C-alpha cells in the first residue's frame, strides 16, 4: 500500500502554493476496528513531507471499510 501511495503522490501536483488551481492536497485516514485521521488535507504542502508522513504504523484489527468511508465523509 505504501508503494501505491508513493506512486500516487509522485504523479500529482502537490508542491505548489495555494494560489495554484491545479494543486492537490492529500489527507490520510487509517482504519481497522475504527478510523482515525493520520493527517488532514492542509497538513502537508510539500512532496517530501508527504512521502515521509505516509509511512504509518500498522495497528492491527479488523478491516472496517464502512466505518472508514463514514469517517471520511
**pTM (predicted TM-score):** 0.77
Q: What is the dihedral of CA 2, 13, 47, 64, to 10 degrees?
A: -30
Report domain extents, the chain.
Answer: 2-72
Topology of domain 2-72 in CATH is Rossmann fold (3.40.50)
| pLDDT tens column, 24-44 | 999 998 888 888 889 999 899
Place of cell 508513493: 6
| pLDDT tens column, 39-57 | 999 899 899 999 999 998 8
Amino acid at each position: 500500500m505504501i508503494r501505491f501511495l508513493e506512486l500516487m503522490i509522485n504523479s500529482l501536483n502537490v508542491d505548489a502554493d495555494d494560489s495554484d488551481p491545479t494543486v492537490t492536497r492529500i489527507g490520510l485516514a487509517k482504519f481497522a476496528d475504527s478510523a482515525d485521521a493520520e493527517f488532514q488535507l492542509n497538513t502537508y504542502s510539500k512532496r517530501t513531507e508527504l512521502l515521509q508522513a505516509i509511512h504509518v504504523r500498522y495497528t492491527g484489527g479488523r478491516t472496517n471499510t464502512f466505518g472508514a468511508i463514514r469517517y471520511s465523509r
